[in-house]
Amino acid sequence: MKKLIALLLALMMVLSICASCGEDVKTTDTSSEAADLFVPPVSSQIEADKDLYNDAVAALKETELKLDGTPEISEDLVIAIQNAEYTEPKNFIYMIGDGMGFNIVEVTRAKYEDSLYQKKLAINQLPVQSSQTTYSADAQITDSAAGGTALSTGFKTSNQTVAMTHDDTESYKTLLELAAEKGKSTGIVATSNVVDATPASFTAHVADRYMSEGIAKQQLEKVIDGTLDVVLGGGRNNYNSVGNKATLQAAKDDASATYIEDWSEAANAKMPLIGLFAQDHLDTHDENTPSIAQMTDLAIDLLSQDENGFFLMVEGSQIDKKAHNNNFDDEVKEMIDFDCAITVAMRFVALNPDTVLIVTADHETGGLEIPADATSSNYGSHYTTGNHTYKPVPVAAAGKGTEVLLGINENIDLPRFVAKLLGEENFGEPSQVNVIRSTFTDKDIKALANNNSTLNNHTLVEKTKDGALAIHFNNAHNQVSFPAEVLKTNELPNGMRAIHMIIKNTGNKTVMLPHLVAKVAFVTETLVPQVAYISGNTTMRVTYILPDWAWTEKSTEAIKEFTLKYSEGMEINLEINNLAVVTRADNK
């Protein structure tokens, strides 16, 4: 038995766009006030309609979910999700698409759009749509261990480290462990080996992600002491190893754990349950292997029997693995399979609005590039690498309080938010968002004009009535440089990691987003935005991640200039506001 459940903290953060235009640099915690500065200009949820919700729920209850790999998003499900009156959460479903960037989501949506309700995937139908950055404590590009640790503990750590400090001297408490302390049942689902980096980050503490036998042992020990109730995925070789056979037997004997290796045995399974359906990673092409949707459905069915609620982490593990191999067709298959699992979770949320659902990724893999305005007849794409990238990744959510995740998040913001709902205020460690300009002044416009010799009577830049910076790019004017006078970076804390801004395309056509050229000391670095294109009449939060060589304690003092630049000669009109940088100390 777990400890007695504690009362959950009520958390409802009211968000508003920062309307002040003062010249002082503002420094805030990314998980609280900073969220206010990056709220999108549209509502996060459709206003709840009880009749619509009740009718949709009644229809859902009469419909059986097929779980056959076919997208199951429906009108009733979308109506229920968008009109639910979310209550204080007792259940938490945390879904991680390993390697899932914005472009694999979009190209999968495009391929399947003719069979999708409203031509949207399940992930696209969640009320909160946002993003988060993924860099680790020691590198611009994270691995899954550090990425998973950030999402599970609220702390950044070094690559290859699992739920421990970057110097491997202390362990960080994970969300799964916190939920168990609060009396909740817990589980993990993965299409990889369950000792792989991401599921390990929620269930173990090791200095190196490849300490597989040790990770399996810690997971088994959590089953024995009641911290972990459901384990579904691959990984028999690690659980049945010589070093772990005795611990596995103890889980069966002392904790009465059910251990299965064949999905046909799952129908009668009870908690605690260990279901390992492959020696290593699951063969997701094998019809005898359970799908991630089936495993998610079983996990929710078992865990939801706990009247105190549950915490479940689900990983679509092999989106990443297929992207590493630049196998586009298989990556799309893994993405649609993961989206089917999201549908399963959404259905539970719709019927149980005391649940918080968060969907995100640990990092992007492959540097996938796709056409602008991809459709079912035009979704070709190509990879730019076989490795991880530093591109920000999607965040989608539903449930009470999830509006706080709107805007630009650091990966550590997500678990800190969940921990607060679980009653833990001091969980993880935030980065700092330092707002350079929420709006621009006439003085800024003059400084920009003086700094850009190609300006023609100031027609390239001007201030809008709302204080945004309007920029016109064309053949004659393909870049705008922001001098130190406007940036005021000498007033910022040291340790700059990323640059945020809100960009609006005021034209009607889809255009490329500009590159950002950063002059740090005597080095110039061209930074690529999170996605390549911005649609017409669209507002987007854009993040540019600095390379790790620029993360020194004196980096902000060394910033000389930022330049927004196009290489193409085309007519583009953008508006920019909420210019900010993220800083962290070197050892954080």
Active-site residues: which are they? 144
As a three-state string, the secondary structure of 362-412 is CCEECCCECCCCCECCECCCECCCCCEECCCEEEEEECCCHHHHCCEEECC
Give the rounded distance of the alpha carbon of 513 from its chain centre. Answer: 21
Q: In angstroms, rounded to a whole number, what is the distance separating the alpha carbons of residues 545 and 280? A: 34
Q: Mind giving me the DSSP string for 2-26?
A: PPPPPPPPP--PPP-------SS-E
Q: In angstroms, rounded to a whole number, what is the distance separating the alpha carbons of residues 33 and 27? A: 9
If DSSP codes are grouped into helix, strand and coil, which group holds residue 502? Answer: strand
In the block, tokens 């009247």 appear at 307
Buried/exposed 376-405: b ≥16 CB within 10 Å, e otherwise: eeebebebeeeebbbbbbbbbbbbbbbbbb
Closest-CA residue to 20 (of 37, 8, 3): 37
The helix (run of H) or strand (run of E) holding residue 515 is strand 515-520
Q: CB burial class (10 A; 0-12, 13-18, 19+) of residue 454? A: exposed
Closest-CA residue to 172 (of 424, 410, 408): 424
Residue 408 β-bridge partners:
131
Dihedral of alpha carbons 81, 58, 295, 154, sign:
positive
